Amino acid sequence: MDVFDIIGPIMVGPSSSHTAGACRIGKYARGILSEEPMNAVIKLSGSFKKTYKGHGTDKAIIAGLLGFNEDDERIRESIEIAKKEGRNFTILEEDIENTHANTAEIIMTKANGEKVVIQGSSIGGGNILITKINDAKVNINGLFDVLVVGHVDIPGMVYKITKVLYQWKININGLSLHREEKSGNAVAIIEVDDKIDDKLCDEMREVENVKYVTLLRSLK
């Protein structure tokens, strides 16, 4: 970590961990959902649960879900803004086992009724770590572009997906695979060193047996 990681980003205070990091968790969750979140249950655990009212952690996460950056003055009014826009965001205090002290779990509902769950922690200096997407355990720090590729679990899919990246000369930094059951639905989470072009995503969506592609832009 360099000095700017320790001090934290330009932000609306008071805390880089409880405010800036919380806002980034919310914004990353919004990206994972890939649409406007209208309903969400936000579970605050550990230190988040104990101090969120004083540090504005609830406001910061909601601000992130609204698409605000950590330096946006509207963070302070995010709850009121969400209500005016007809969004239903519920805050719960709940201990989540085996997690970092500053952890939030966000359960979002899409327009079609599908639920998306993400779990993230604020680890200091505004830095975050996403540790769960639905049932998949992940390790995403938001420092790189990430592709989330849903596909049918059949032989050859990893080759087909990574072949597209090779053709675009994109270097893979990390790759993890998760599946619900053999020959069922699977998800590839690919962290890359290079910036991803939206056209690459369009090309990957055309790969046979790929169900969806979500691009999560880096937070820095």
Query: What is the percent of the chain with per-residue pLDDT over 90, rounded to a whole number?
Result: 61
Q: Residue 74 has which token pair?
A: 């509207």
Pick the last residue of a domain from 140, 172, 200: 140
Same domain, 154 and 116: no
Same domain, 127 and 152: no
| Per-residue pLDDT tens digits for 120-136 | 999 987 889 999 988 88
Q: How confident is the model at residue 183, as a pLDDT?
A: 65
Range of the domain at 82: 3-140
Same domain, 18 and 123: yes
What mean pLDDT value characterizes the chain?
Answer: 88
With bands split at pLDDT 50, 70 and 90, how would you rate the model's confidence at 15?
A: low
Cα–Cα distances in Å, from 61 out to 24, 38, 73, 156?
7, 14, 14, 39
> Considering only CA atoms, which of 68, 57, 2, 4 is closest in space to residue 30?
68
Q: How confident is the model at residue 188, as a pLDDT?
A: 93
Pick the last residue of a domain from 140, 156, 173: 140
Q: What is the pTM of this model?
A: 0.82
Contact call for residues 211 and 186 (beta carbons, < 8 A): no
Residues 6 or more apart whose Cβ sits within 8 Å of residue 8: 16, 17, 20, 125, 126
Higher pLDDT pick, 4 / 51: 51
Q: How confident is the model at residue 55, as a pLDDT?
A: 85
Rounded to an integer, what distance in angstroms lies between the CA atom of residue 107 and that of residue 174? 26
Contact call for residues 70 and 23 (beta carbons, < 8 A): yes
Domains contained in the chain, number: 2
Of 31-45, 75-89, 181-195, give the lowest mean pLDDT range.
181-195
Q: What is the CATH number of the domain that holds 173?
A: 3.30.70.260
